[in-house]
Amino acid sequence: MLIARYNLGADYSISDFNTVGEAMDHIATLYEQRLQKENPRLNQLQYRAEDLFRFIDGHREFVALVFLPASQSYKPHDKEWIKEKLLTHLGRQQPAPSSGRGPASNRSNIQSRLGNQRF
């Protein structure tokens, strides 16, 4: 799977991953690194899914290209597909919410890949 990110101007990057899960972890880590850079004095950073989605939407283009072995080609997926996969992937990493408010209630409890920060 390839992730292509394009910002305003000529700034772009392409990253290659073996699985969709690895790609979703990478996207979340990119955002967490940006938060750390913007808030170097904070010991703990918290953010919501909507904040991560704004990070994605802040790019002129953010595309996932999923390799299809049968056709030896890549299928492009847009920002909305990436957001859905992020929610599914990050939600799987957490225990069921105890508040009883449904799946959305555990979004604020997803452990960051950078240590003590929380999603």
Assign residue 65 the CATH number of its domain: 3.30.2260.10
Query: What pLDDT score was predicted for residue 42?
Result: 86
Residue 56 covered by a domain: yes
Residue 76 covered by a domain: yes
User: What's the chain's Rg over C-alpha atoms?
Assistant: 15
Residue 118 covered by a domain: no
The residue-averaged pLDDT of 39-64 equals 90
Residue 19 covered by a domain: yes
Residue 117 covered by a domain: no
The count of domains in the chain is 1
Confidence tier at 9 by pLDDT (50, 70, 90): low
First-to-final CA distance of the chain: 24
Residue 33 covered by a domain: yes
* pLDDT tens sequence across 16-42: 999 999 999 999 999 999 999 999 998
Query: What pLDDT score was predicted for residue 112?
Result: 53
Instruction: Supply the range of the domain harboring residue 47.
Output: 2-109
Distance CA 53, CA 64 (A): 15
Q: Which of 55, 85, 40 is nearest to 77 (CA)?
A: 85
State the chain's mean pLDDT as an integer: 80
Confidence tier at 54 by pLDDT (50, 70, 90): very high
Residue 22 covered by a domain: yes
Query: What pLDDT score was predicted for residue 44?
Result: 86
